[in-house]
Structure 1
Amino acid sequence: MRSVFLAAVGFCLMVPLAAPVRAQAAEAPADEASRLRKLFADSDEAALKRSPLSALFRGDQRYADQLGDFFSDAALDAQKAAAEADLAALNAIDRDKLSAQDRVSYDVFRWQTETNLKGFAPELVAATQGRPIDHMRGIHTFIPDISTGESAAPYKTVKNYEDGLKRLTSFAFQLDMATARFRQGMAAGVVQPKLVTTNVIGQLDTLLVGGTAASVMMKPVGKFPDSFSAADKARLSADYARVVGSEVNPALARLRDFLKAEYLPVARDSVGLSAMPGGAALYEYLIQTNTTTDLTASEIHDLGLKEVARIRQGMGAVQKRMGVKGELSDFFTFIRTDPRFKPKSKDDLRLRYEAVGKRVNTTVGSLFSTLPKAPLEIRPVPEFREKNDAAGSYQSGTPDGSRPGIFYYNTYDLPSRTTQGIETLYLHEAVPGHHFQISLAQENEALPAFQRFGGNTAFVEGWALYAESLGPELGMFKDPMQLQGRYDDEMLRAMRLVVDTGLHAKNWGRDQAIEYMMANSAMGRTDATIEVERYIAMPGQALAYKIGQLTISRLRADAQAKLGRTFDIRAFHEQVLMTGALPMAVLEKKMADWVAGQR
């Protein structure tokens, strides 16, 4: 996820990071601790070589001239072999001889490695590799995005520009590799739904509008640094025009034409993963990886129904407070249609988010003792991807602060959007949500790299949803419409439990899912459609938010009950955040040990 501030929410704060973590790390016997840290370092370095873009997002430029291998069998074999070697090395280390902090790292590494290895089961590989691109995740939009000069890839030196050219040349080749994977899936009956395919075709059309000169990948040559010589500017301009015009755009067009002519006619009318060969097993695996639990689809579906019913009661109380008569559906219609709750313009939306940021910055120190050093910016979603993007997203910065964290807000179809969720979305994507959690992990040099830069969806999104619940303690939600926005956003995550499992395990259709979401929230049809089509494209991912949040909220309630007056919310948040994104079982064990140590 991504985000930035056009007029910066400039809090660049300093506080030193968790000295106790460093002290604990030194307690382990040198041989076991050093072997563990060497394993982590070697594994991370090998992963960066296999995935150069991961290094790029960290601010590591060593492999910046490479794109990586996304689709080949050789790349898959290398990933599997690395995971097997990592697990064997981990098994040779005596966990009982490690410090408490290193045992947490050991447990996280084991969970990640074992989970990754499960994904190499032949049935799961076949069901995944034959669908290499969708409208939410795919190199066809991701690489253009980082090639604009406005994302992770820097364009400050001549070498930066030359590295970008090499990545674009590789991009053209990888697009053709994606087509080969699509053909492989077609032969096995493993295909995307028609609506996903149609959305991807639309994205490719958008990228090709206007030809070479209008390409987003030509943006860097329109803003050369002043230090560049005239000769370098002329050479690089010509090289970019050649690569984009004769290599990248033709490859994008080939993929689009293939999808239109050959793939779309055989794409699925069904939208659920279970309708596809191997889909049911893949969905079960995706539930496990995204929630980091062993919950079943039916258990999650039932949990979602209970949460929806609970949140509807809170919405009803706000409706009564605002004096809106009728059923809850009448309240939703009131919110969707009353012009008071519509952004007046794109600038109006930006100014609202900036104002929320300034307010949060004045109170956040009451709940957190360690604050990120990384700056935050707020930006609109780029036009070429806004149609299919969520209302908001976050892109992490670099640990040294040279690239800020970015909160992206979506301005597509502005008349259909409402302002009720402004405060909640900021809390989720920015402060104290994703920007806090991701930045604090990255900046904590006491952690191994896989904990600083890795993670799992249940923790990352669960924390961000938990951060929304901190609104009252941060002075938010005093306006009843913003409180309704809080309920509406929490309802979104509860509905996801119902809708995602409904689509992929209970044969729900797209329209059924959209109508369910509109019946239980004030979402407009545009947002509801984007959400449902996201779940269709990314099975299981949307389940993580509520599962993670419920776990963190339960851990807080348990700590408060057991510690009573000695409970310190800042210390609790420190413990949750300062070891990176943990699987739920590891987090629960860590927090139970912490509570026991406080009594």
Structure 2
Amino acid sequence: MSVARPTRQKLSILALSLSLSLGLAMSPAAMAQPQEQKQALAPPANATEAKLRELYNTEWDWRQKEFAREKIDGRWQSAAHMPSVTAQTWQRRGEYWADVLKQLDAIPAAQLSREEKINEAVFRTTVEGLHNDAVWKTYEAPFNSDTFFWAGLNPRQPYQSEADWRRFIGRLNDIPRYFGENIANMDAGLSRGWSVPRSSVEGRDNTIVPYTKTDAENPYLATFDRIPSSIPEPVRSQLREEGRKAVLENVVPAYANLLTFMRGQYLVRARTTTGASDLPNGRAFYKTQIREFVTRDMTAKQVHDIGLAEVARINAEMREVMARSGFKGSFPEFLQFLRTDPQFYAKTPKELLSYTAWISKKVDGELKNVVGTLPRYRFTILPVPDEVAPIYTSGRGGLDSCLFNTYDLPSRPLYNLPALVVHECAPGHSFQAALALEAPARPDFRQQTYFSGYGEGWGLYTEWLGTLMGIYETPYDDFGRLTFEMWRAARLVIDTGLHEYGWTRQQAIDYLAANTALAHHDIVTEIDRYIAWPGQATAYYLGYKTMRDLRSEAERELGPKFDQRPFHDTILNLGSVPLPVLESEVRTFVAERKAAARTAAEE
């Protein structure tokens, strides 16, 4: 989810604005493929393909400018100002995307090549999500339980050029306007009953507090003390002073005003219900969210029933692993043992981070047996920033870094870390993002498109793949993996339970606690995230199940000729695509391999 990371945000208005914020804190390499790695696209095969390319390239350039990106040295980078987020701007954007979809409908798909059909499907699904969220006015709730428009604006690592620092200062000076527009949108949402539920807002106001300080405890002020010495004097001192002036005169008052609004208005007026069905026309909205995240048409009942069946299957496997561990008590007693025994918990943040780094290097030694193409780009391992750690997930991975939460160490069991590392780092999200960066030539919009069903499905698939890589050394590690698999399967039941079937927050907490060894802190954090972000939780397991089913199909069809490396390359080389496209391309790959095998046998 770097902070996922533009690479880990969903294709909604909320996430698009969030990815803007998060993108500001990432290196230029995270934003676009380096110029020297770019390859030229083949020319369009006919007039229809030319028309499609003109449409998606024009929309992409328009979208970048709309969201405060500008092209610098051939790459899209964050501009020296924040984007407009007024209701009038969003209405105009919605109208634009409606017209784009109309033009797209007029393009005959039969006249497109295989690659352009993929481009068309990716582009259409993206624009449909953006348009739907503009229509639903989700910008009136521009944050969720752990990802906020006011966070992630500060760079994780110092910028290396004067130009980057000056654009950053420009954005800081524009924060008062940007926050003011978001506050106006939130106020409008509260007035019509469209808000983040109160249970997912409480305590989140505390993440604003550090930015209201006027001393070194303010993360922005600390950032300007880290300008690298590679920027010579007197420029370095000038940047520091200009930055401090922007923070003290513009940023601090804007955050203070936001804090007053959140505590005096939002927390008081936010809805006390938890389900999307309680929003205006909420059941119809929830249906669009399942479609957006899963990238296929499914009813809430279909999702719920799959979840119930998978929970039952995984529970049986968990009990087998418990027996293998030698534990003699009941299943609830085993969960309690895992949650409380000191052997399973790090004593210091450094111990936890060191353990994740060791797992990561162990994975490195196995990657050559898993995929055929290894990326050059490398990630680092960092702790989740202190200002968001109390309400943040256990870990998230993106192109530049994997974040692991070292807050409340008694809630961070070590037996969960092997699965978490392969999911977030390699061969999961960081690895996936690096391959996307170095991907074959494709349109710019494909480089930065992210579908949760594909991306999170791959992340969960890699957790299972760890069983073939020898990553889980003890029954407890394997139980941690199964806890994570159960967690995602249970999400199908919980998300639909909350948003379609009227479950209470406590009912959801109890269900996750009864079926996994997750710590109570993590369980509550996760449930509040599902409440605040309807549908997103359904993507993980359904994407994973699609990939597992495709692998089983490929193994049956190819028999002893099956090689997981080209199979995985096929998935990864596609980049993020809707699940129906993934199915079609993998089946084409299998058919081509079968044909090649037959030809070889006949020679």
Q: TM-score, normalised by structure 1?
A: 0.88
CA contact under 8 A between 1:171 and 1:248: conserved in structure 2?
A: yes
Return closer, same or farther for 1:59/1:141 CA change in 2, 3 Å cut-off: farther
Specify the SS of the correspondent of 2:397: strand
Correspondence 1:79-228 to 2 at 5 A: 79-121=93-135, 124-125=136-137, 128-143=138-153, 147=154, 149-150=155-156, 155-208=159-212, 210-228=213-231
Aligned with residue 319 of structure 2, among 316, 330, 349: 316
* Cα distance, 1:374 vs structure 2: 0.9
Q: Provide structure 1 residue ranges, at least 5 long, that are not aligned to the other structure.
A: 5-21, 397-404
CA contact under 8 A between 2:227 and 2:240: conserved in structure 1?
A: no
- Amino acid of the residue matched to residue 79 of structure 1? R
- Amino acid of the residue matched to residue 474 of structure 2? D
Aligned with residue 60 of structure 2, among 44, 54, 57: 44
Cα deviation, 1:149-190, whole Å, max 9, x if unaligned, reads 325xx6222222221111011122111111111221222122
Give the Cα separation in 1 of the matches to 2:204 and 2:340: 31
Give the Cα separation in 2 of the matches to 1:33 and 1:512: 51
Correspondence 1:36-435 to 2 at 5 A: 36-52=52-68, 60=75, 63-69=78-84, 71-121=85-135, 124-125=136-137, 128-143=138-153, 147=154, 149-150=155-156, 155-208=159-212, 210-396=213-399, 405-435=400-430
Aligned with residue 436 of structure 1, among 427, 431, 437: 431
Specify the SS of the correspondent of 1:577: helix
Alignment match, 1:594: 589
Aligned with residue 521 of structure 1, among 513, 516, 539: 516
Give the Cα separation in 2 of the matches to 1:2 and 1:54: 22
Specify the SS of the correspondent of 2:216: helix
Return closer, same or farther for 1:225/1:111 CA change in 2, 3 Å cut-off: closer
CA contact under 8 A between 2:142 and 2:182: conserved in structure 1?
A: yes
Specify the SS of the correspondent of 1:198: coil
Return closer, same or farther for 1:201/1:243 CA change in 2, 3 Å cut-off: same
Specify the SS of the correspondent of 1:506: coil
* Cα distance, 1:597 vs structure 2: 2.5
- Amino acid of the residue matched to residue 72 of structure 1? T
Cα deviation, 1:452-496, whole Å, max 9, x if unaligned, reads 210211101001101111112212223111111110110110111
Q: Does 1:2 align with 2:16?
A: no
Correspondence 1:559-578 to 2 at 5 A: 559-578=554-573
Cα deviation, 1:50-92, whole Å, max 9, x if unaligned, reads 1235979x993655312212x2134313422432343344345
CA contact under 8 A between 1:308 and 1:495: conserved in structure 2?
A: yes
Cα deviation, 1:373-418, whole Å, max 9, x if unaligned, reads 111111110111111111110122xxxxxxxx21111011002221
CA RMSD of aligned residues (A): 2.4
* Cα distance, 1:319 vs structure 2: 1.0
Return closer, same or farther for 1:142/1:150 CA change in 2, 3 Å cut-off: closer
Give the Cα separation in 1 of the matches to 2:347 and 2:545: 35
- Amino acid of the residue matched to residue 39 of structure 1? L
Give the Cα separation in 1 of the matches to 2:179 and 2:88: 17
Return closer, same or farther for 1:225/1:129 CA change in 2, 3 Å cut-off: closer
Q: TM-score, normalised by structure 2?
A: 0.88
Correspondence 1:14-53 to 2 at 5 A: 26=42, 29-52=45-68
Specify the SS of the correspondent of 1:119: helix
CA contact under 8 A between 1:104 and 1:590: conserved in structure 2?
A: no
- Amino acid of the residue matched to residue 109 of structure 2? R
Give the Cα separation in 2 of the matches to 1:392 and 1:188: 35
Cα deviation, 1:407-437, whole Å, max 9, x if unaligned, reads 1110110022211111111110011111222
Alignment match, 2:483: 488
CA contact under 8 A between 2:487 and 2:516: conserved in structure 1?
A: yes
Alignment match, 1:447: 442
CA contact under 8 A between 1:133 and 1:178: conserved in structure 2?
A: no
* Cα distance, 1:332 vs structure 2: 0.5
Cα deviation, 1:481-533, whole Å, max 9, x if unaligned, reads 11111101101101111111112122222222112111111111111111111
Specify the SS of the correspondent of 2:366: helix
Total equivalences in the alignment: 561
CA contact under 8 A between 1:283 and 1:539: conserved in structure 2?
A: yes
Give the Cα separation in 1 of the matches to 2:91 and 2:478: 50
Give the Cα separation in 1 of the matches to 2:187 and 2:360: 47
CA contact under 8 A between 1:155 and 1:220: conserved in structure 2?
A: no
